[in-house]
């Protein structure tokens, strides 16, 4: 049963649009799945390989801008951005990896954070190339209905899930975990840590780039402050995984559901609308103190805590 | 180089130097926290934002001079820092988890809460404390009538710089001449040895976090007459403080001062010669260059060249 769970869930998700959901519900579902993709991508690099990135907005934004600039500069459909972003994002990831991967722990985190900010400022200032703060507007939407967008992001999500699972069940995955647990020990066992960290980074970046390219096509508008956002992309990515469960297959999905719903619920309450980051921050603090491995990772602990509350 | 170009260049250098002095204060706060606690405080700039709003409230309610509000804001930030360390960071240091970076992520969460609460209380409007000396300046020609070039120095920048230097001096005295200061430095050097020597490390950690917060709080009050404030201002200063810390060498106070000055100069030069919008990129180029070419920071240079001690 457990082996088939991913297929069952994918099947159920594929049937969902047939239920005739309103376009608002579809929008929420699309966002949840998109965040799950980004979360799974981040999890590969940070959860499994232990290289905590604070700058996944860099890859998200690069993917988004690849799609956007194909449209604005070359006049071809932004959907080509999804395949093309593989190349562009890989190049960026290799450059960023070359600089950042020589650092460890918090220094890597901060270096990636600054990479995200550098890309944002660059995109803002290179007005002739990227359009600067005006952003890029996709004038012709592919579909008015959300169903096709839903299926596209679902396909990306299923692909990401399978890719992450495949990697983690192969030798590569064991290398990643070995690097996370003790990099020096891994190195002394003959694992080329730099190479495998770079592989993890590029894989993670490419998957995040897919989500970015999808975002451009789906939302129809991007600007540097949106797609390279530190808090709204990079930190939310971390939160999705931290809340759901670090280094678990289902964690990012669970986290994405909670984070997107929480954001929507808080925004819908007028007096609390501006306070959504307070709730995010408090949730993050509570999760780190009480469930450091997230809801999925610390599920047994969570059950025990709730059980104790009852008695 | 014509005299106008020279004038612009000197003006830029002086401006960068003044900015660097304030940056140094910001960096020292972060570097002592990093030295003692081995964590990166990503809520550093947000703490500064809190201090700036304290100064703003004091100014608008009691017309208190921003420079005077250092006396209130710094102790307030000290208490806030001690509270954060005691009730939030300490419990996290004890729990076991897959990712050791949890404390860093925790400080991000604290920062988010602070920014958002400030947004709710003060709205996201840009605010400032309109003090009457904010546009005053010194001119070189006031002192030296026949000077071939004309330089000007903004009065609030100069005052802020002088106060920053005084605070840094006071800190240096505290760290090198008092028992508590010595125990802070001992804990930073070797925690286990410090415990064996009878240092109450828990208390030292709380005081260090408080001290770091108080320093950044003081820096906030010094920035107020020059900058305008808005709730999101903290983020960029967190990054600046971090860049300074890396540039100076982790945990090194002298390094942080030099790092602050270098960054101030570099930013000022980028802003004049490349463009205002690119100044933050210059900041990160320095950061990346420091990480690659000088991973130990300025402190490692000092150590190998045997400057000073």
Question: Cα dihedral angle (B113, B118, B119, B122), rounded to 10 degrees?
Answer: 170
pLDDT at B309: 43
Angle at B77 between CA B79 and CA A289, to 5 degrees: 65
A218 class by beta-carbon count within 10 Å (0-12 exposed, 13-18 middle, 19+ buried): buried
Residue B290 and residue B114: Cα distance in Å, rounded? 30
Q: Where are the domains of chain A?
A: 2-229
Say yes or no: A105 contacts chain B, CB-CB below 8 A: yes
Residues of A in contact with B287 (CB under 8 A): 111, 114
State pLDDT tens for residues B40-87.
888 899 999 999 999 999 988 888 888 888 889 999 999 999 999 888
Say yes or no: A12 contacts chain B, CB-CB below 8 A: no
Token code pair at residue A147: 């169903």
The single residue listed with the structure tokens 């066992």 is A189
Nearest CA in chain A to B111: A281
Task: Measure CB to CB from residue B108 to each of A118, A235, A292 and give the nearest one.
Answer: A235
State pLDDT tens for residues B262-286.
888 888 888 888 877 777 777 778 8
- Find the mean pLDDT for residues A128-133: 81
Cβ distance A93 to A212 under 8 Å? no
Say yes or no: A103 contacts chain B, CB-CB below 8 A: yes
- Find the mean pLDDT for residues A281-301: 84
pLDDT at A173: 92
- Find the mean pLDDT for residues A17-41: 90
Yes or no, beta carbons of A278 and B120 under 8 Å apart: yes
State the nearest Cα–Cα gap between A231 and chain B, in angstroms: 8
What residues make up the domain containing B114?
3-305
State the nearest Cα–Cα gap between A52 and chain B, in angstroms: 7
Cβ distance A40 to A102 under 8 Å? no
Neighbours of A215 (CB within 10 A): 27
Say if the ipTM goes beyond 0.85.
no
Residues of A in contact with B113 (CB under 8 A): 277-278, 281-282, 285
The single residue listed with the structure tokens 């403080």 is B241
pLDDT at A308: 66
SS3 state at A59:
helix
Cβ neighbors of B98 (< 8 A, separation 6 or more) are A47, A50, A180, A246, A247, A292, A293, A297
Residue B38 and residue A105: Cα distance in Å, rounded? 11
Yes or no, beta carbons of B120 and A246 under 8 Å apart: no
Q: What is the CATH number of the domain that holds B108?
A: 1.10.3470
State pLDDT tens for residues B136-158.
777 777 777 666 677 777 888 88
Task: Measure CB to CB from residue A278 to each of B40, B113, B243 and give the nearest one.
Answer: B113
Yes or no, beta carbons of B104 and A280 under 8 Å apart: no
Distance of CA B108 to the CA centre of its chain: 17
Say yes or no: A235 contacts chain B, CB-CB below 8 A: yes
Among residues 29-68 of chain A, which lie with CB inside 8 Å of chain B? 46-47, 50, 52, 54
DSSP string, B219-276: HHHHHTTTS-B-TTHHHHHHHHHHHHHHHH-TT-HHHHHHHHHHHHHHHHHHHHHT-G
How far CA A21 is from CA of A156, A217, A271, in Å, comes to 21, 21, 28
Token code pair at residue A234: 């990079």
Among left, alpha and beta (phi > 0; psi -120 to 50; other), residue B269 is alpha
- pLDDT above 60 (res B17): yes
Yes or no, beta carbons of B288 and A230 under 8 Å apart: no
Nearest CA in chain A to B241: A110
* Paired strand residues for B153: B138
Residues of A in contact with B101 (CB under 8 A): 52, 105-106, 109
Nearest CA in chain B to A43: B99
């Amino acid at each position: 049963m457990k082996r088939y769970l991913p297929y069952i869930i994918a099947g159920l998700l594929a049937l969902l649009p047939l239920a005739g959901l309103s376009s608002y519900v579809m929008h929420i579902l699309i966002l949840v799945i998109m965040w799950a993709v980004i979360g799974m991508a981040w999890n590969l690099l940070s959860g499994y390989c232990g290289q905590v990135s604070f700058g996944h907005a860099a890859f998200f934004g690069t993917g988004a801008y690849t799609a956007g600039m194909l449209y604005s500069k070359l006049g071809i459909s932004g959907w080509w951005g999804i395949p093309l972003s593989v190349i562009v994002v890989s190049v960026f990831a290799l450059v960023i990896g070359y600089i950042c991967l020589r650092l460890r722990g918090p220094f890597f985190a901060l270096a990636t954070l600054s990479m995200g900010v550098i890309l944002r400022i660059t995109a803002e200032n290179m007005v002739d190339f990227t359009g600067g703060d005006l952003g890029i507007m996709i004038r012709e939407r592919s579909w008015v209905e959300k169903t096709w967008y839903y299926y596209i992001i679902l396909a990306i999500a299923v692909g990401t899930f399978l890719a992450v699972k495949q990697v983690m069940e192969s030798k590569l995955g064991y290398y990643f975990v070995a690097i996370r647990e003790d990099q020096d020990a891994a190195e002394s066992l003959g694992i080329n840590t730099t190479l495998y960290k770079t592989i993890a980074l590029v894989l993670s970046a490419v998957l995040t780039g897919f989500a970015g390219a999808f975002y451009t096509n789906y939302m129809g508008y991007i600007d540097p402050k949106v797609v390279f956002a530190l808090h709204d992309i990079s930190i939310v990515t971390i939160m999705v995984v931290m809340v759901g469960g670090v280094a678990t297959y289902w964690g990012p999905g669970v986290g994405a559901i909670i984070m997107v719903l929480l954001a929507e619920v808080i925004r819908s309450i007028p007096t609390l609308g501006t306070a959504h980051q307070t709730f995010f921050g408090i949730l993050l603090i509570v999760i780190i103190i009480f469930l450091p491995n997230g809801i999925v990772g610390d599920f047994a602990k969570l059950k025990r805590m709730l059980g104790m509350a009852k008695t | 180089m014509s005299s106008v170009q020279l004038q612009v260049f000197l003006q830029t250098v002086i401006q960068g130097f003044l900015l660097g002095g304030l940056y140094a204060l910001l960096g020292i706060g972060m570097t002592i926290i990093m030295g003692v606690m081995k964590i990166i405080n990503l809520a550093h700039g947000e703490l500064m934002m809190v201090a700036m709003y304290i100064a703003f409230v004091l100014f608008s309610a009691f017309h208190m001079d921003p420079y005077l509000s250092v006396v209130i804001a710094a102790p307030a930030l000290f208490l806030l820092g001690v509270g954060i360390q005691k009730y939030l960071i300490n419990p996290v240091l004890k729990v076991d988890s897959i990712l050791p970076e949890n404390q860093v992520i925790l400080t991000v969460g604290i920062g988010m809460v602070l920014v958002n609460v400030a947004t709710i209380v003060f709205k996201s409007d840009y605010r400032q404390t309109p003090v009457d000396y904010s546009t005053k300046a010194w001119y070189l020609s006031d002192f030296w009538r026949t000077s071939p070039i004309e330089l000007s120095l903004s009065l609030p920048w100069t005052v802020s710089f002088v106060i920053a230097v005084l605070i840094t001096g006071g800190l240096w005295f505290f760290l090198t001449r008092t028992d508590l200061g010595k125990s802070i430095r001992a804990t930073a050097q070797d925690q286990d040895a410090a415990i064996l020597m009878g240092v109450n490390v828990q208390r030292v950690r709380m005081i260090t976090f408080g001290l770091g917060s108080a320093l950044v709080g003081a820096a906030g009050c010094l920035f107020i007459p020059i900058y305008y404030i808005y709730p999101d201002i903290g983020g960029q200063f967190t990054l600046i403080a971090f860049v300074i810390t890396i540039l100076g060498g982790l945990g090194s106070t002298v390094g942080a001062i030099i790092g602050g000055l270098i960054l101030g100069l570099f930013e000022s030069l980028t802003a004049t010669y490349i463009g205002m919008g690119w100044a933050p990129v210059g900041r990160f180029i320095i950061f990346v260059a420091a990480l690659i070419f000088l991973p130990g920071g300025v402190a490692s240079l000092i150590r190998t060249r045997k400057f000073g001690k």
